[in-house]
Amino acid sequence: GAVVSQHPSWVICKSGTSVKIECRSLDFQATTMFWYRQFPKQSLMLMATSNEGSKATYEQGVEKDKFLINHASLTLSTLTVTSAHPEDSSFYICSARPTSGGDSSYEQYFGPGTRLTVT
Amino acid sequence: GNSVTQMEGPVTLSEEAFLTINCTYTATGYPSLFWYVQYPGEGLQLLLKATKADDKGSNKGFEATYRKETTSFHLEKGSVQVSDSAVYFCALRLDSWGKLQFGAGTQVVVTP
């Protein structure tokens, strides 16, 4: 089946530093990837839609200068949390939508998530 | 705006019990509806979906029917197993790009 990986699975960083999280579709191409943030015992909140070769579309209230998204290839999207602060600590999840059409266009495949802790 | 409301957990059941997780939504237009499951330590997986009113999605013994009149998409399983212990998310699809709006998730714990 379709597999999406995220790296790292967890990271601890100091306040003020930047952290990059990778999202890879391992056995399919994904023109579109999504980045979510999940707080403890809460739902996934969509942060942005990442499209290969173009600028990401951010949801209302998400700072695009703080959460930099790059989707440079059909199998890789990165989320960089710049100048991280403790309030950025969260679980970040990506999903990838296969480029091929048909019924698979409804499918999104989710990565296992990355736990970010900012100290 | 669009929203998804699902029952709070955790829901604790004995093996072979009947499971229902309620999900209601508000949305403009006619969204597609989904149930995702997140097993411990894994990413979300699509469990089932329904794309129009009265559609029934089913998979792995789980079922849910798209009820437009009650704006609901309740998840049911007749006889749960310990392996069904997970967090279940109801979601609606907002646009053709595939943006999803999720409910808060319901943790289900099945005991032997």
Specify the pLDDT at position B26.
94
Cβ contact B102–A43 (<8 Å): yes
Whole-number mean pLDDT of chain B?
Answer: 93
Query: Out of A42, A97, A112, whose CB is closest to B42?
Result: A112
Whether residue A103 has pLDDT greater than 60: no
Q: What secondary structure does DSSP assign to B5-69, as a single string?
A: EE--S-EEEETT--EEE-EEEE-SS--EEEEEEE-TTS--EEEEEE-STT-EEEETTEEEE-BTT
Peptide bond just before B112 cis, omega within 30 deg: no
For CA atoms A10, B82, B84, B18, give the dihedral sign.
negative
> Taking the CA of residue B40 as centre, how many other CA atoms within 13 Å lie in the half-sphere pointing to its CB?
6
Specify the pLDDT at position B42.
83
Which two three-digit tokens encode residue B92?
């609606």
Specify the pLDDT at position A49.
92
Is residue B48 exposed (0-12), middle (13-18) or buried (19+ Cβ within 10 Å)? buried
Specify the pLDDT at position B2.
86
Per-residue model confidence as pLDDT tens digits over B53-81: 999 999 999 999 999 999 999 999 999 99
| Residues of chain B below pLDDT 70 | none
3-state secondary structure (DSSP) of residue A19:
strand
Specify the pLDDT at position B75.
98
In which residue are the tokens 């790059």 written?
A70
DSSP letter for B74, please: -
Residue B70 makes CB contacts below 8 A (sequence gap 6+) with B24
Whether residue A99 has pLDDT greater than 90: no
> Taking the CA of residue B25 as centre, how many other CA atoms within 13 Å lie in the half-sphere pointing to its CB?
28
For an interface test with A, the pick among B5, B51, B96, B102 (most A C-beta atoms closer than 10 Å) comes out as: B102
Per-residue model confidence as pLDDT tens digits over A26-77: 999 998 999 999 987 778 899 999 988 888 999 999 999 999 999 989 999 9
In which residue are the tokens 């059941």 written?
B13
Which residues on A lie below 8 Å from B99 (Cβ)?
34, 46, 49
Specify the pLDDT at position A21.
97
- Nearest Cα of chain B lies from the Cα of A4 at a distance, in angstroms, of 9
Whether residue A104 has pLDDT greater than 80: no
Specify the pLDDT at position B41.
79
3-state secondary structure (DSSP) of residue A101:
coil
Q: How far apart are CA A110 and CA A93, in angstroms?
A: 7
Residue A41's φ and ψ, nearest 5 degrees, are 60, 25
Whether residue A114 has pLDDT greater than 90: yes
